[in-house]
Amino acid sequence: THFGFETVSEAEKADKVKSVFENVAARYDLMNDCMSVGVHRVWKDIFVHRINPGANTRMIDVAGGTGKYFRNCDIAFRFLKFQLASTKSDTFRVGSPISILDPRVELPPDQPRAENEAEAQYQAVGSQSSLPKNEELTSRSVLVSDINPRMLEVGQKRSLTALTADEQKRIDWLEADAENLETIPDESFDVYTIAFGIRNCVHIENVIHEAYRVLKPGGRFMCLEFSQVPNSLLRWVYDQYSFQVIPAMGQVIAGDWDSYKYLVESIRKFPNQEEFKSLIQQAGFRFVSYENLTFGVTAIHSGYKI
Ligand code: SAM
Protein backbone atom coordinates (compact mmCIF):
# COMPACT_ATOMS: atom_id res chain seq x y z
CA THR A 1 0.00 0.00 0.00
CA HIS A 2 0.99 3.64 0.01
CA PHE A 3 1.02 3.59 3.78
CA GLY A 4 3.78 1.22 4.74
CA PHE A 5 2.60 -2.24 5.64
CA GLU A 6 -1.05 -1.56 6.39
CA THR A 7 -3.72 -2.60 3.93
CA VAL A 8 -6.07 0.27 3.18
CA SER A 9 -9.16 0.60 1.02
CA GLU A 10 -9.43 3.17 -1.77
CA ALA A 11 -11.69 5.34 0.39
CA GLU A 12 -9.08 5.22 3.16
CA LYS A 13 -6.37 6.25 0.73
CA ALA A 14 -8.41 9.27 -0.40
CA ASP A 15 -8.98 10.27 3.26
CA LYS A 16 -5.33 9.75 4.09
CA VAL A 17 -4.18 11.92 1.15
CA LYS A 18 -6.60 14.66 2.22
CA SER A 19 -5.33 14.67 5.79
CA VAL A 20 -1.68 14.51 4.70
CA PHE A 21 -2.09 17.69 2.66
CA GLU A 22 -4.15 19.39 5.34
CA ASN A 23 -1.32 18.66 7.77
CA VAL A 24 1.44 19.92 5.51
CA ALA A 25 -0.31 22.83 3.70
CA ALA A 26 1.16 25.69 5.72
CA ARG A 27 4.73 24.36 5.61
CA TYR A 28 4.51 22.74 2.21
CA ASP A 29 6.74 25.15 0.29
CA LEU A 30 9.34 25.32 3.02
CA MET A 31 9.50 21.53 3.17
CA ASN A 32 9.77 21.31 -0.62
CA ASP A 33 12.74 23.63 -0.49
CA CYS A 34 14.43 21.65 2.27
CA MET A 35 13.77 18.20 0.82
CA SER A 36 14.87 19.02 -2.70
CA VAL A 37 17.56 21.54 -1.64
CA GLY A 38 15.70 24.09 -3.76
CA VAL A 39 15.94 21.97 -6.91
CA HIS A 40 12.13 21.72 -7.23
CA ARG A 41 12.22 25.34 -8.39
CA VAL A 42 14.49 24.38 -11.26
CA TRP A 43 12.27 21.39 -12.14
CA LYS A 44 9.24 23.68 -12.22
CA ASP A 45 11.11 26.24 -14.31
CA ILE A 46 12.04 23.56 -16.83
CA PHE A 47 8.48 22.24 -16.80
CA VAL A 48 6.92 25.61 -17.64
CA HIS A 49 9.68 26.22 -20.12
CA ARG A 50 8.69 23.01 -21.92
CA ILE A 51 5.04 24.17 -21.99
CA ASN A 52 6.25 27.37 -23.64
CA PRO A 53 2.84 29.06 -23.41
CA GLY A 54 1.68 31.50 -26.02
CA ALA A 55 -0.26 34.67 -25.26
CA ASN A 56 -3.67 32.99 -25.60
CA THR A 57 -2.87 29.58 -24.19
CA ARG A 58 -5.49 28.44 -21.64
CA MET A 59 -4.23 26.06 -19.02
CA ILE A 60 -5.69 24.01 -16.22
CA ASP A 61 -3.28 23.19 -13.41
CA VAL A 62 -4.72 20.19 -11.57
CA ALA A 63 -3.70 19.40 -7.99
CA GLY A 64 -2.31 22.94 -8.12
CA GLY A 65 -2.13 23.21 -4.36
CA THR A 66 -0.26 25.99 -2.76
CA GLY A 67 2.12 28.39 -4.37
CA LYS A 68 4.35 30.63 -2.38
CA TYR A 69 5.72 33.49 -4.38
CA PHE A 70 9.41 33.49 -3.86
CA ARG A 71 11.04 33.47 -7.26
CA ASN A 72 7.86 31.79 -8.55
CA CYS A 73 7.32 28.63 -6.59
CA ASP A 74 4.33 27.38 -8.45
CA ILE A 75 3.30 26.15 -11.90
CA ALA A 76 0.30 28.47 -12.36
CA PHE A 77 2.16 31.57 -11.17
CA ARG A 78 5.14 30.73 -13.34
CA PHE A 79 2.87 30.10 -16.29
CA LEU A 80 1.32 33.56 -15.92
CA LYS A 81 4.68 35.30 -15.58
CA PHE A 82 5.93 33.39 -18.55
CA GLN A 83 2.84 34.14 -20.62
CA LEU A 84 2.96 37.85 -19.89
CA ALA A 85 6.66 37.89 -20.64
CA SER A 86 5.95 36.41 -24.07
CA THR A 87 3.80 39.48 -24.84
CA LYS A 88 6.51 41.85 -23.59
CA SER A 89 9.67 40.20 -24.86
CA ASP A 90 11.78 43.21 -23.88
CA THR A 91 11.29 42.53 -20.16
CA PHE A 92 12.17 38.86 -20.20
CA ARG A 93 15.82 37.87 -20.01
CA VAL A 94 17.76 34.77 -19.09
CA GLY A 95 18.47 34.93 -15.39
CA SER A 96 15.68 37.41 -14.77
CA PRO A 97 13.74 36.88 -11.56
CA ILE A 98 10.90 35.42 -13.63
CA SER A 99 12.75 32.31 -14.61
CA ILE A 100 16.22 30.92 -14.72
CA LEU A 101 15.61 29.88 -18.29
CA ASP A 102 14.82 31.67 -21.51
CA PRO A 103 11.39 30.57 -22.80
CA ARG A 104 12.12 31.45 -26.36
CA VAL A 105 14.58 28.65 -26.86
CA GLU A 106 13.85 26.17 -29.69
CA LEU A 107 13.06 22.48 -29.22
CA PRO A 108 16.21 20.41 -28.77
CA PRO A 109 17.56 19.39 -32.19
CA ASP A 110 17.61 15.70 -31.23
CA GLN A 111 13.85 15.62 -30.64
CA PRO A 112 12.15 13.19 -33.09
CA ARG A 113 10.52 14.73 -36.15
CA ALA A 114 7.03 13.48 -35.24
CA GLU A 115 7.23 15.31 -31.94
CA ASN A 116 8.27 18.52 -33.63
CA GLU A 117 5.17 18.24 -35.82
CA ALA A 118 2.97 17.66 -32.79
CA GLU A 119 4.65 20.60 -31.08
CA ALA A 120 3.92 22.78 -34.13
CA GLN A 121 0.25 21.74 -34.06
CA TYR A 122 0.05 22.47 -30.35
CA GLN A 123 1.66 25.88 -30.81
CA ALA A 124 -0.78 26.68 -33.64
CA VAL A 125 -3.75 25.88 -31.42
CA GLY A 126 -2.42 27.26 -28.20
CA SER A 127 -0.69 30.47 -29.12
CA GLN A 128 -2.24 32.13 -32.12
CA SER A 129 -1.89 35.84 -31.67
CA SER A 130 -0.36 38.32 -29.32
CA LEU A 131 -2.52 39.57 -26.48
CA PRO A 132 -2.85 43.35 -26.45
CA LYS A 133 -1.31 44.83 -23.30
CA ASN A 134 -3.72 45.43 -20.41
CA GLU A 135 -6.67 44.00 -22.29
CA GLU A 136 -9.13 42.10 -20.12
CA LEU A 137 -9.32 38.43 -21.05
CA THR A 138 -12.71 37.09 -22.04
CA SER A 139 -11.88 33.90 -20.20
CA ARG A 140 -9.16 33.38 -17.66
CA SER A 141 -5.81 31.96 -18.74
CA VAL A 142 -5.28 29.63 -15.83
CA LEU A 143 -7.59 27.54 -13.72
CA VAL A 144 -5.96 26.11 -10.61
CA SER A 145 -7.84 23.14 -9.22
CA ASP A 146 -7.24 21.03 -6.14
CA ILE A 147 -9.27 18.59 -4.08
CA ASN A 148 -8.21 20.27 -0.87
CA PRO A 149 -9.77 23.69 -0.11
CA ARG A 150 -7.01 24.41 2.43
CA MET A 151 -4.29 24.09 -0.24
CA LEU A 152 -6.34 26.31 -2.58
CA GLU A 153 -6.90 28.87 0.14
CA VAL A 154 -3.16 29.18 0.82
CA GLY A 155 -2.47 29.54 -2.91
CA GLN A 156 -5.25 32.08 -3.36
CA LYS A 157 -3.98 34.23 -0.49
CA ARG A 158 -0.46 34.10 -1.86
CA SER A 159 -1.64 35.10 -5.32
CA LEU A 160 -2.74 38.46 -3.88
CA THR A 161 0.83 39.38 -3.08
CA ALA A 162 2.59 37.24 -5.67
CA LEU A 163 0.75 38.36 -8.75
CA THR A 164 0.22 41.75 -10.30
CA ALA A 165 -3.35 43.03 -10.75
CA ASP A 166 -3.12 42.04 -14.42
CA GLU A 167 -2.07 38.52 -13.54
CA GLN A 168 -4.73 38.16 -10.85
CA LYS A 169 -7.39 38.79 -13.49
CA ARG A 170 -6.12 35.78 -15.38
CA ILE A 171 -6.31 33.17 -12.64
CA ASP A 172 -9.25 31.23 -11.27
CA TRP A 173 -9.60 28.59 -8.55
CA LEU A 174 -11.71 25.45 -8.36
CA GLU A 175 -12.13 22.78 -5.74
CA ALA A 176 -12.27 19.56 -7.73
CA ASP A 177 -11.17 15.95 -7.74
CA ALA A 178 -8.69 15.27 -10.53
CA GLU A 179 -10.50 12.01 -11.18
CA ASN A 180 -13.77 13.77 -11.90
CA LEU A 181 -13.63 17.32 -13.24
CA GLU A 182 -17.39 17.26 -13.69
CA THR A 183 -17.93 21.02 -13.75
CA ILE A 184 -15.51 21.48 -16.63
CA PRO A 185 -16.91 21.04 -20.14
CA ASP A 186 -15.15 18.89 -22.74
CA GLU A 187 -12.38 20.49 -24.82
CA SER A 188 -11.85 23.56 -22.64
CA PHE A 189 -8.07 23.91 -22.38
CA ASP A 190 -4.94 24.02 -24.53
CA VAL A 191 -2.72 22.65 -21.78
CA TYR A 192 -3.37 20.39 -18.82
CA THR A 193 -0.69 20.30 -16.15
CA ILE A 194 -0.35 18.23 -13.03
CA ALA A 195 2.78 18.62 -10.92
CA PHE A 196 3.53 16.31 -8.01
CA GLY A 197 -0.18 15.53 -7.79
CA ILE A 198 -1.07 12.44 -9.80
CA ARG A 199 0.65 9.93 -7.54
CA ASN A 200 -1.70 10.98 -4.73
CA CYS A 201 -4.79 10.09 -6.73
CA VAL A 202 -6.47 6.74 -6.20
CA HIS A 203 -7.09 5.85 -9.87
CA ILE A 204 -4.46 7.51 -12.03
CA GLU A 205 -6.12 6.14 -15.20
CA ASN A 206 -9.24 8.21 -14.38
CA VAL A 207 -7.09 11.31 -13.96
CA ILE A 208 -5.51 10.84 -17.39
CA HIS A 209 -8.91 10.18 -19.01
CA GLU A 210 -10.28 13.39 -17.50
CA ALA A 211 -7.22 15.24 -18.78
CA TYR A 212 -7.95 13.93 -22.26
CA ARG A 213 -11.60 14.98 -22.03
CA VAL A 214 -11.00 18.59 -20.94
CA LEU A 215 -8.24 19.22 -23.48
CA LYS A 216 -9.03 20.77 -26.85
CA PRO A 217 -7.95 18.84 -29.95
CA GLY A 218 -4.24 19.61 -30.33
CA GLY A 219 -3.97 20.20 -26.59
CA ARG A 220 -1.13 18.92 -24.50
CA PHE A 221 -0.96 16.87 -21.31
CA MET A 222 2.06 17.66 -19.15
CA CYS A 223 2.93 15.90 -15.93
CA LEU A 224 5.82 16.61 -13.57
CA GLU A 225 6.20 13.83 -11.05
CA PHE A 226 8.74 12.02 -8.96
CA SER A 227 9.95 8.99 -10.83
CA GLN A 228 12.49 6.15 -10.59
CA VAL A 229 16.27 6.55 -10.66
CA PRO A 230 17.51 3.90 -13.14
CA ASN A 231 21.16 3.85 -11.95
CA SER A 232 21.42 1.38 -9.04
CA LEU A 233 24.18 3.20 -7.15
CA LEU A 234 22.44 6.55 -7.36
CA ARG A 235 19.18 4.85 -6.44
CA TRP A 236 20.77 3.47 -3.26
CA VAL A 237 21.98 6.94 -2.25
CA TYR A 238 18.59 8.43 -3.06
CA ASP A 239 16.80 5.72 -1.02
CA GLN A 240 18.95 6.42 2.05
CA TYR A 241 18.17 10.10 1.78
CA SER A 242 14.44 9.52 1.20
CA PHE A 243 13.78 7.01 3.94
CA GLN A 244 16.17 8.31 6.61
CA VAL A 245 16.43 12.06 6.11
CA ILE A 246 13.07 13.23 4.70
CA PRO A 247 10.72 11.94 7.46
CA ALA A 248 13.14 13.32 10.08
CA MET A 249 13.14 16.68 8.30
CA GLY A 250 9.30 16.55 8.22
CA GLN A 251 9.28 16.04 11.97
CA VAL A 252 11.65 18.95 12.65
CA ILE A 253 10.18 21.46 10.20
CA ALA A 254 6.50 20.57 10.02
CA GLY A 255 6.18 18.48 13.22
CA ASP A 256 4.90 15.60 11.14
CA TRP A 257 6.93 12.41 10.56
CA ASP A 258 4.08 10.26 9.17
CA SER A 259 2.94 12.60 6.39
CA TYR A 260 6.45 12.80 4.99
CA LYS A 261 6.95 9.06 5.34
CA TYR A 262 3.78 8.67 3.29
CA LEU A 263 5.09 11.09 0.64
CA VAL A 264 8.30 9.06 0.26
CA GLU A 265 6.40 5.76 0.04
CA SER A 266 3.97 7.12 -2.53
CA ILE A 267 6.93 8.07 -4.73
CA ARG A 268 8.28 4.52 -4.66
CA LYS A 269 4.89 3.00 -5.51
CA PHE A 270 4.30 5.23 -8.53
CA PRO A 271 4.76 3.58 -11.98
CA ASN A 272 8.18 4.02 -13.52
CA GLN A 273 8.77 6.22 -16.57
CA GLU A 274 7.89 3.57 -19.18
CA GLU A 275 4.86 2.25 -17.30
CA PHE A 276 3.47 5.75 -16.87
CA LYS A 277 4.11 6.50 -20.53
CA SER A 278 2.01 3.42 -21.47
CA LEU A 279 -0.87 4.60 -19.28
CA ILE A 280 -0.85 7.97 -21.05
CA GLN A 281 -0.83 6.26 -24.45
CA GLN A 282 -3.69 3.97 -23.42
CA ALA A 283 -5.83 7.04 -22.66
CA GLY A 284 -5.49 8.09 -26.32
CA PHE A 285 -2.64 10.59 -26.17
CA ARG A 286 -0.15 10.58 -29.04
CA PHE A 287 3.53 11.46 -29.35
CA VAL A 288 3.96 10.55 -25.71
CA SER A 289 7.45 11.14 -24.40
CA TYR A 290 9.26 11.77 -21.15
CA GLU A 291 12.33 13.61 -19.99
CA ASN A 292 14.23 12.62 -16.85
CA LEU A 293 15.35 15.42 -14.54
CA THR A 294 18.12 14.98 -11.95
CA PHE A 295 18.93 11.35 -12.92
CA GLY A 296 15.24 10.37 -12.95
CA VAL A 297 14.39 11.69 -9.49
CA THR A 298 11.59 13.44 -11.38
CA ALA A 299 10.32 13.13 -14.94
CA ILE A 300 8.26 15.28 -17.26
CA HIS A 301 5.75 13.27 -19.28
CA SER A 302 4.06 14.85 -22.26
CA GLY A 303 1.34 13.73 -24.70
CA TYR A 304 -0.86 15.35 -27.30
CA LYS A 305 -4.58 14.98 -27.94
CA ILE A 306 -4.54 14.63 -31.71
N1 SAM B 1 1.14 21.16 -7.80
C2 SAM B 1 1.65 21.71 -6.55
C3 SAM B 1 3.16 21.79 -6.60
O4 SAM B 1 3.73 21.36 -7.60
O5 SAM B 1 3.77 22.30 -5.69
C6 SAM B 1 1.16 20.94 -5.35
C7 SAM B 1 1.49 19.47 -5.31
S8 SAM B 1 1.08 18.72 -3.77
C9 SAM B 1 2.41 17.56 -3.58
C10 SAM B 1 -0.18 17.60 -4.17
C11 SAM B 1 -1.56 18.23 -4.26
O12 SAM B 1 -2.45 17.25 -4.80
C13 SAM B 1 -2.15 18.65 -2.93
O14 SAM B 1 -2.48 20.01 -2.98
C15 SAM B 1 -3.39 17.76 -2.77
O16 SAM B 1 -4.45 18.40 -2.10
C17 SAM B 1 -3.72 17.46 -4.22
N18 SAM B 1 -4.53 16.28 -4.46
C19 SAM B 1 -4.42 15.06 -3.90
N20 SAM B 1 -5.34 14.22 -4.39
C21 SAM B 1 -6.05 14.93 -5.33
C22 SAM B 1 -7.14 14.63 -6.19
N23 SAM B 1 -7.70 13.42 -6.22
N24 SAM B 1 -7.61 15.60 -6.98
C25 SAM B 1 -7.06 16.84 -6.98
N26 SAM B 1 -6.02 17.19 -6.18
C27 SAM B 1 -5.53 16.25 -5.36
Tell me the longest C-alpha to C-alpha distance in the chain.
56
Q: Is 263 in the pocket of ligand 1 (CB under 6 A)?
A: no
50 has a pLDDT exceeding 80: yes
Count other C-beta atoms under 10 Å from residue 160's C-beta. 10
Per-residue model confidence as pLDDT tens digits over 144-159: 999 988 888 888 888 8
Question: Was domain 38-227+270-304 assigned CATH 3.40.50.150?
Answer: yes
User: Does 63 contact ligand 1 (Cβ within 6 A)?
Assistant: yes
Mean pLDDT of 117-133: 45
CA 205–ligand 1 middle distance (angstroms): 16
- Supply the pLDDT for residue 5: 33
Q: Tell me how many degrees the CA angle 280-207-215 measures, rounded to the nearest 5.
A: 75
> Which ligand 1 atom minimizes the distance to the CA of 25?
14
For residue 166, the model assigns a pLDDT of 85
Q: How high is the pLDDT of residue 26?
A: 58
What 3-state DSSP class applies to 150?
Answer: helix
At 59 the three-state DSSP class reads strand
Ligand 1 pocket, residue 179 CB under 6 Å? yes
Q: Which residues are annotated as a binding site for S-adenosyl-L-methionine?
A: 66, 146, 177-178
Q: Which of 200, 204, 266, 298 to mutate to test the pocket of ligand 1 (most atoms within 8 A of CB)?
A: 200
- Whether 201 is in the pocket of ligand 1, judged by its Cβ within 6 Å, is yes
* pLDDT mean over 218-243: 94
Give the model's confidence band at 100: pLDDT under 50 very low, under 70 low, under 90 confident, else very high: very low
CA of 118 to the centre of ligand 1 (A): 28
pLDDT band at 209 (very low <50, low <70, confident <90, very high): very high
**H helix or E strand, kind and range, residue 215:** strand 215-226
Ligand 1 centroid to Cα of residue 236, in Å, is 27
Q: Is 225 in the pocket of ligand 1 (CB under 6 A)?
A: no
- pTM (predicted TM-score): 0.79
CB contact burial 105-120 (16+ within 10 A = b; e otherwise)? eeeeeeeeeebeebbe
∠ CA 161-60-26 to the nearest 5 degrees?
45
Q: Which atom of ligand 1 is nearest to 178's Cα? A: 24
Cα angle 72, 76, 78 (rounded to 5 degrees) comes to 35
Q: Which residue did the predictor score with more confidence, 295 or 41?
A: 295
Ligand 1 near 146 CB (within 6 A): yes
How far apart are alpha carbons 188 and 76 in whole angstroms? 17
Distance of CA 151 to the CA centre of its chain: 14
pLDDT at 200: 84
Residue nearest to atom 19 of ligand 1 (CA): 200
> Distance (Å, rounded) from C-alpha 32 to C-alpha 219?
29
Q: What is the pLDDT of residue 116?
A: 58
Q: In this prediction, does ipTM exceed 0.95?
A: yes
**Whose C-alpha lies nearest to ligand 1, atom 6?**
65
Nearest CA to ligand 1 atom 13: 65
The length of the chain in residues reads 306
Strands 142-146 and 171-175: parallel
* Residue 139 per-residue DSSP state: S
pLDDT of residue 96: 37
Ligand 1 center to residue 200 CA distance, Å? Answer: 7
The full set of domain ranges for the chain reads 38-227+270-304
Ligand 1 nearest-atom number relative to CA 75: 4
Reduce the DSSP state of residue 198 to 3 states and report it. Answer: helix
What residue numbers does the annotated binding site cover? 66, 146, 177-178
Kindly give the distance from the C-alpha atom of residue 153 to the centroid of ligand 1, in angstroms, as a whole number: 13
